[in-house]
Chain A
């Protein structure tokens, strides 16, 4: 079993080993000798996440716990949850629990970056959960409305 590290949107399976002169990184089917820890990089860790500044760029690498990689925070299928495309605040909520909606129907109007954006249903369904209230704020990718999975 290898460790799973997420960099950007990609998950890489790696293994680290101690060599005599260098640390070794297994990536794919190949072992690579790692250079000595470079003094040019700045790193900061926060829980399972390592933030790296190297070569003028910034990277965020997340260690994926072996069990959590299977779970989803709502338990619903991905297209059943309308998520926030960006952090912001809720201007209005167009639906209530139990409402039937069709693909493209407005669910929530959010305000972010001084603009209003309408979050719409990506498929037909019945509203199961409204996660937000008018005036409330949220972070990016927060669940806004969850539709019941179709029978």
Chain B
């Protein structure tokens, strides 16, 4: 057993900071958090043993690796967990953490570099005989990029090579619009990633997104923790994820999971990672590898019983995994639903507001980054919380999710909760007929259905009785009627 960490700093915010701190504290380790002033009263700041204020713009402060490392050292932090987003896949940051004498909880900087560059990652995977989709890579010969992309044929997906999270991705179904899409993707890539290089790959119509959780240690052990299906997406971003995938046969499950473990093994992967695949018509292609904890990791935790953050921490101390592939099995079915501050009927645009009431349902896992009184602003990502249900079968898990969604109260800031419920009630979703364009193909799910006359009366009645000018007027008239009655007698 290696020497455990005394203090772990979570270089993140919101629900993932809370989730990591819970495991850190349960392991008897002190938990520290960096905190912009907008987050000073957040659940994560309240849970942490040590709060380290950071300065700058809201998002910029969480991206300021130099400031975070300097303040972490001053606070005697031994180790930094980056969560997801922000600095989690920044190889330079991982290196600077190590140079400062602390441990980065994640894979080596070299691995982050390899997998962070999508083009290099693809080449690495293809060279070792794993499946990748037909593609054209700009770097191979920038002058002929558009021409080679045309040769791959429509439909095409144009992506930034340094990208992630759907940013800067454009589908081209008509090759006449290719140049325009390339220009737009490049402008977005330059702005978000400071790197305008692109690649184009065959877009599989109605694909499924299936990914495999892997764990590797510094001693060469690599295992997989089965797959997650994340096909329910809006704007290229996942909103519902599940484990296992309803699409795979047992044989396909073994093949895709073994492929993922093989890729991780080839990369000498150490710590938690996710190998993402595009799946359609029985074929799967490597998409990318995420060298961090994923947003949707809880479904794997629920279905396997493994605490992934605890595993990450043990691996980072240098301990062997302590788990073999035979130790990992799936029990039942887990579903995660992301609660966003957004308006589904307005093309999922973010909403803002002060949270006047936050009452998550009891008896199910809710990873939340807000509480009563939190201000939801446009400064940060609009994900507020994650609802995670686990049941014996997929059908029961959906029922449990719907029951929990109907009891999930967030007032003061509009959310996607009712939309998620309509999505879970959809026949294709219930039957597991998923693909990444499903939500876009069902615009009828976006808007709240009109209220029945009796419901309208009920809602207006509740509102009327809570409005002072309305009740004052009602009480005044009641008094008047009593007097009139008196005159008549």
Task: Give the B-binding residues of A (Cβ under 8 A).
Answer: 3, 5, 7-8, 12, 14-18, 23, 25, 27, 32, 34-35, 37-38, 41-46, 48, 50-61, 63, 85-89, 112-116, 137, 139-140
Contacts and interface: CB of A to CB of B under 8 A. Distances in A.
Contact of A18 (B406, B412, B475): B475
Nearest to A12: B460
Interface in B446-479: 448, 455-467, 469-471, 473-475, 477-478
Nearest to A35: B458
Contacts of A140: 349, 351-352
Given A25-B457, A25-B461, A25-B464, A18 B474 contact: yes
Interface of B: 165-167, 187-188, 191-192, 235, 346, 348-352, 354, 356-357, 359, 378-379, 405-407, 409-412, 414-415, 417-418, 421, 448, 455-467, 469-471, 473-475, 477-478
A89 B415 CA distance: 21
A134 to B, nearest CB: 14
B412 A44 contact: yes
Contacts of B412: 44, 46, 51
Nearest to B405: A56
Contact of B462 (A50, A58, A85, A139): A50
B473 A3 contact: yes
Given A16-B473, A17-B478, A18-B474, A51 B411 contact: yes
A23 B467 CA distance: 14
30 contacts: A3-B464, A5-B467, A12-B456, A14-B464, A17-B474, A27-B457, A32-B461, A34-B461, A42-B357, A42-B359, A43-B411, A44-B411, A45-B356, A46-B412, A53-B410, A56-B405, A57-B448, A58-B414, A59-B459, A59-B463, A61-B459, A61-B460, A85-B346, A87-B349, A113-B350, A114-B167, A114-B192, A116-B191, A140-B349, A140-B352
Instruction: Tell me whether chain A's interface is mostly helix, strand or loop, or mixed.
Output: strand
A34 B457 contact: yes
A85 B351 CA distance: 11
A52 to B, nearest CB: 5
Contacts of A34: 457-458, 461, 465
A14 to B, nearest CB: 6
Given A5-B464, A18-B478, A52-B463, A139 B352 contact: yes
A16 B357 contact: no
B407 to A, nearest CB: 8
B405 A54 contact: no
A5 B461 contact: no
A36 to B, nearest CB: 10
A18 B467 CA distance: 14
A1 B464 CA distance: 15
Contacts of B352: 87, 139-140
B460 A14 contact: yes
